[in-house]
């Protein structure tokens, strides 16, 4: 695992934006699966305000690693957050934005989105291959919408699956672990002191580390990089 540690969320966002610009430049097509959460908000804000004209948006395709099963104008929608903070402020072709239709029946949407991914991405090892998957991590160690009580989603053979939030019961569509681990690159963006215990347990293989879905994200033939702030990593 490669890691980069910065002072705060804003620095994580700035440095990852530069990193993303570097890895996507010069590619005929570059397929990214995006994450929701607070750190991506800062990332999207930084790109929109500083790099909107630096990316070749014609070549970049935006996907989502997970999505809540809500309408696209719902405040909880990852798509809405991305649209408001980034998509509406950049010149990206509509056909390059591949949202999860959260308003659809979850099981049917998992199948439809899987087909959309298969129809647009190249395949390797019998699975679609994203150029980059951006992930966050929750205080419970979940990533995408793979929660500790649904560890089977890490090995599920389907491309997408329906997950259930452990507290609210909300349904979500998520990429499965096998697809995430088939990506050319996976990047975790993790900030905040409430992630510290899980981050250090994952890196140090501490107590119960195998119970955290984020620990099991290890690209089979790709690169894994973490962008963290000091609060999430600790000062040691």
Q: What would the mean pLDDT of 58-69 be, rounded to a whole number?
A: 98
d(CA 233, CA 57): 33
CA gap 122, 49 in Å, rounded: 32
Average pLDDT over residues 42-46: 98
| CA gap 105, 117 in Å, rounded | 18
Q: What is the pLDDT of residue 236?
A: 53
Spatial distance between the Cα atoms of 124 and 198, rounded to a whole number of angstroms: 31
Single pTM value for the model: 0.97
Burial tier of 184 (Cβ tally within 10 Å: 0-12, 13-18, 19+): middle
Confidence bin at 1 (pLDDT 50/70/90): confident
Summarize pLDDT for 124-167 with one digit per residue, the tens.
Answer: 999 999 999 999 999 999 999 999 999 999 999 999 999 999 99
114-144 CB burial, b ≥16 within 10 A, e <16: bebbeeebeeeeebbbbbbbbbbbbebbbbb
pLDDT number for residue 41: 97
Q: What is the pLDDT of residue 37?
A: 87
């Amino acid at each position: 695992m490669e890691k980069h540690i910065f002072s705060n969320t804003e620095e994580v966002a700035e440095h990852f934006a530069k990193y993303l610009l570097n890895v996507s430049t010069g590619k005929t097509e570059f397929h990214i699966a995006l994450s929701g959460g607070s750190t991506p908000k800062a990332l999207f804000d930084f790109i929109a305000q500083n790099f909107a004209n630096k990316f070749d948006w014609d070549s970049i395709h935006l996907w989502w690693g997970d999505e809540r099963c809500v309408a696209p104008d719902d405040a909880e929608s990852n798509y809405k957050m991305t649209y408001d903070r980034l998509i509406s402020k950049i010149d990206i072709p509509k056909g390059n934005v591949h949202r999860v239709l959260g308003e659809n029946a979850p099981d049917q949407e998992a199948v439809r989105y899987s087909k959309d991914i298969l129809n647009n991405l190249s395949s390797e090892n019998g699975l679609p291959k994203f150029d980059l998957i951006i992930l966050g991590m929750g205080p419970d160690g979940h990533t995408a919408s793979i929660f500790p009580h649904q560890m089977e989603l890490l090995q599920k053979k389907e491309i997408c699956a329906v997950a259930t939030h452990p507290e609210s019961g909300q349904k979500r569509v998520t990429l499965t672990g096998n697809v995430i681990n088939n990506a050319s690159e996976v990047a975790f963006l993790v900030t905040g002191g409430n992630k510290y215990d899980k981050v250090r347990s994952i890196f140090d293989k501490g107590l119960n580390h195998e119970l955290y879905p984020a620990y099991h994200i290890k690209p089979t033939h790709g690169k894994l990089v973490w962008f963290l702030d000091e609060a999430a990593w600790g000062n040691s």
